[in-house]
Structure 1
Amino acid sequence: MVDGFAYGMAAILVIAIILPFMQVITVSMSPASVVNATGFHLFPTKFDFSGYKKIATDNNFWHSYLNTILRAVIGTSSGVLITIMTAYPLSKVNLPYRKGLMLFVVFTMYFSGGMIPKYLLIKNLHLTNNFLVYILPCLITGFALIITRNFFMSIPGELEESAKIDGATPWRVLFGIYLPLSKPVVATISLWYCVHHWNSWMDNMLYVTKSNLYVLQYVLQTILTNGQTADMETMTDVIIHTETMKMAALVLSLLPIVCTYPFLQKYFVKGMLVGSVKG
């Protein structure tokens, strides 16, 4: 009975995810006349890739795409590195003030200064209209740090002791022993950081006004909401987006994450389980 209910809920969840995704793909490949006439439909009756051809001429879209790729690569790599370097000492039971430091990390997960104090901080640090505003404020997250720290605690301490007897430094222990054994948790937090950076647009709206620093999701949000974007080169021309162009832009924005996830999936569950059960 319980298994049947679980499978039923899972089936409903899968359908709720797949149907909108199929609708987006169908609209992006259909002519505007069919979209306006039939409305919701799961499979294209006619194929027309003019939406993709037109979105290819939107310089603002592709420049923001490049900005998002750079943000995702730099933000993910730096976030994973800082998380690993912070989690390693916190995994040691003999670290002074370890419990207090962990309480501070947990505190940041539930409480923040709010939007206005954060904006004032960003402004005083001269990060407005600066590419670093996408990287530094979200360089590390408390949840990723706790998961990584717990994973490190599950690694046998005898490995580190034997390495130190052979003369290994803490840096050598971390990057030569712990890191190779931590592929599951590294893949897990890498996916978290990558998805966060790829989907984020609020910081663009709050802290960036220069169009050459716009990220993909903010441009996509303006396309879906307003149906138009300003051409970046002329800064005067306006590109009008039809429904097919909107859906084509949405499909193109999903491709990198959809292509990346299968390579990290085999590590994801293991990294989550091992990193969440250790106290």
Structure 2
Amino acid sequence: MKTSIEFSHKIKRTQEDWIIDTVVYALAIFIFIITFYPFFLSIVLAFNEGKDATYGGIYFWPRKFTLDNFAELLNDPAWGKALLITVLRTVLGTGITVFFTCLVAYGLSAKNLIFRKFYMGMVIFSMYFSGGIIPYYMVIRSMHLTNSFLVYIIPSALNTFFLIVAISFFQDIPKDLAESASIDGAGELTILRKIILPISKPLLATIAIFTAVTQWNSWYDCAFFTQNKALRTMGYLLMSVIKKSSMSQSNMDSYAASVAGGTITTVSVQLAAMIVAVAPILLIYPFFQRYIVSGLTLGSVKG
């Protein structure tokens, strides 16, 4: 007797099914093209001579391939320092955020914690309400974080949204694991380090990738809380050069740098900077994708 699965494979598709599928796939392809092509064109122009690109007519591949735009970007002391600051804040900020989020979440996941409801109320309240930019700036200044590298690290050390996700995740881990280790004499920190965290890779990867993306692209804190040019980030410089690129096309055509034979323009350097800023995230994300999906679903539904 044929099973229902075998029977379902032999169901004939109607003409309406084919029409709907065709429309859906065509629409999906169209949306993909109009969203991906501007980024693809930016990559093409970043590898093309800047002055030559101002003449137009470049659509799918560089007309005059060059790496001068990237060389000019990386040789510029301002961009070099910004890249270093961005890498440092991304690495340190991500590690500290993951550490403190997991540490606090593990404590709040214990239902026998004294004043747990009060602590949870504070977390939820702070997630939905904020004092605004002026009180926030006053807090930053009172902590002497303005014009300091730590302004990129300390305020984001604990993310309330990730904290809620981590609490739910830890609560779904069987209590027998922690109890058996506790009977053997393990302390809470030992249980967290040797038992809980090793089986929480989806959670750790989820927090890490989202925090890293936020740290890498951030420019808001650099604009408001630092005046020291040595602390400028890639995101801030990108925002600055994008604002400067509002000049007319004729001005862009006549504005070429005095290096590399006059082939570099401000726009070509901007495009190279954009590629440098986006490429690391695009390269890292595929390796964390499977952890991110499971990290966002595990712990979200109670059994």
**Is the pair's TM-score, using the shorter chain for normalization, greater than 0.5?**
yes
Q: Secondary structure at the match of 2:64?
A: coil
Matched, 1:120 2:144: no
Residues 16 and 146 of structure 1: CA distance in aligned 2, closer, same or farther (over 3 Å): farther
Q: Distance in 2 between matches of 1:49 and 1:165?
A: 62
**Match for residue 186 of structure 1?**
204
Q: Is the 8 A contact 2:46 2:268 kept in 1?
A: yes
Q: Distance in 2 between matches of 1:96 and 1:111?
A: 25
Task: Tell me how large the CA RMSD over aligned residues is.
Answer: 2.4
Aligned residues: 268
**Match for residue 20 of structure 1?**
38
**Which letter does structure 1 place at the counterpart of 2:271?**
M
Matched, 1:29 2:44: no
Q: How does 1:38-117 map to 2 (within 5 A)?
A: 38=56, 41-117=59-135
Picking from 180, 184, 195, the partner of 2:213 is 195
Residues 110 and 241 of structure 1: CA distance in aligned 2, closer, same or farther (over 3 Å): farther
**Which letter does structure 2 place at the counterpart of 1:267?**
Y
Residues 11 and 183 of structure 1: CA distance in aligned 2, closer, same or farther (over 3 Å): farther
CA-CA distance at 1:57 after TM superposition? 2.3
CA-CA distance at 1:164 after TM superposition? 0.9
Picking from 178, 184, 194, the partner of 1:166 is 184
Q: Is the 8 A contact 2:70 2:272 kept in 1?
A: yes
Q: Which is worse superposed, 238-247 or 29-38?
A: 238-247
Q: What is the TM-score with the length of structure 2 in the denominator? A: 0.81
Q: Distance in 2 between matches of 1:113 and 1:6?
A: 45
**Which letter does structure 2 place at the counterpart of 1:91?**
S
CA-CA distance at 1:75 after TM superposition? 0.5
Residues 6 and 188 of structure 1: CA distance in aligned 2, closer, same or farther (over 3 Å): farther
Q: Which is worse superposed, 3-12 or 18-27?
A: 3-12
Matched, 1:273 2:297: yes
Q: Distance in 2 between matches of 1:77 and 1:26?
A: 34
Matched, 1:258 2:282: yes
Residues 248 and 187 of structure 1: CA distance in aligned 2, closer, same or farther (over 3 Å): same
Q: What is the TM-score with the length of structure 1 in the denominator? A: 0.88
Which blocks of at least 5 consecutive residues in structure 2 are unaligned? 1-16, 246-257
Q: Secondary structure at the match of 1:37?
A: coil
Q: How does 1:145-160 map to 2 (within 5 A)?
A: 145-160=163-178
Q: Is the 8 A contact 2:51 2:265 kept in 1?
A: no
Q: Distance in 1 between matches of 2:24 and 2:193?
A: 41
Q: Secondary structure at the match of 1:72?
A: helix
Matched, 1:242 2:266: yes
Residues 169 and 217 of structure 1: CA distance in aligned 2, closer, same or farther (over 3 Å): same
